[in-house]
Amino acid sequence: MSHLIAPSILAADFANLQRDCELVNESAADWFHIDVMDGVFVPNISFGMPVIKAIKKHAMKTMDVHLMIVDPDRYINTFKKVGADILTVHYEACTHLHRTLQAIKSEGMQAGVALNPHTPVNLLKDTIQDIDLVCIMSVNPGFGGQSFIENTYNKVIELKALIKSKDARTKIQIDGGVNAENAPLLVKAGADILVAGSFIFRSENPIGTIARLKQS
């Protein structure tokens, strides 16, 4: 399988959300990446259910929802209802991660776990077989447009080895500061899904930029 591209809607023009959703539909992108921030887990607030519902009306591809919120268990069922296909929670926000993963799957969604830059990959050794996707944060979560943290490559290689050693099928996603320079290196290291926000939506030709990342 070639790698997947998930444009981050956080970097879209919210006054032209339908237009930007259609742009992603028409492009070579595979998923919509949707960042939910609560102002508590991260120092920023993005958007919530009404906006996700609006995106769902126009998005013709998989909805990959990344929760940067405390106590995500409270809203698992609600995110399913508003259209999430994949629901990713933060390792650092879950006291009972295994229970949370089960709850996400019981709603019929794929379960993802995101790791902050300071969180070691090996903390997932006892849950990796229950995780559909690990999102390695390559910036500190909370804002788009930050620069890529180089240690991410080591984490991808380490995670790939962990997945292999446990005979798991977990996919590796990279989120934050992804661009045309680091994309091929990330894919080479073992990344399966690349999230990109600013690099796509701030470019002159977002459809062309998506195609470029897809060909990385």
DSSP 8-state symbol, 81 = H
**Binding to Zn ion in span 48-77, by CB under 5 A:** 66
**Residue sitting closest to ligand DX5 (CB):** 197
Position of tokens 């620069």?
147
**Binding to ligand DX5 in span 52-111, by CB under 6 A:** 66
Which residue is catalytic, options 20, 30, 35, 64?
Answer: 35
Residue 77 near residue 107 (C-beta atoms within 8 A): yes
Q: Interface mask (CB under 6 A) for ligand DX5, residues 5-44, using x and -?
A: ---x-xx---------------------x-x---------
- Cβ neighbour number for residue 213 with a 10 Å cutoff: 25
Dihedral sign from CA coordinates of 19, 22, 23, 29 = positive
CB half-sphere exposure, 115, CA atoms < 13 A = 22
Pairing of strands 133-137, 193-196: unpaired
DSSP-assigned beta bridge partners for residue 34:
65
Q: Which of 112, 176, 190, 206 binds ligand DX5 (CB under 6 A)?
A: 176
Tell the smallest beta-carbon distance from residue 152 to ligand DX5 (Å): 12
Tell the smallest beta-carbon distance from residue 174 to ligand DX5 (Å): 10
Residues carrying an active site annotation:
35, 175
Site residues (vs ligand DX5, CB under 6 A): 8, 10-11, 33, 35, 66, 139, 141-146, 175-178, 195-199
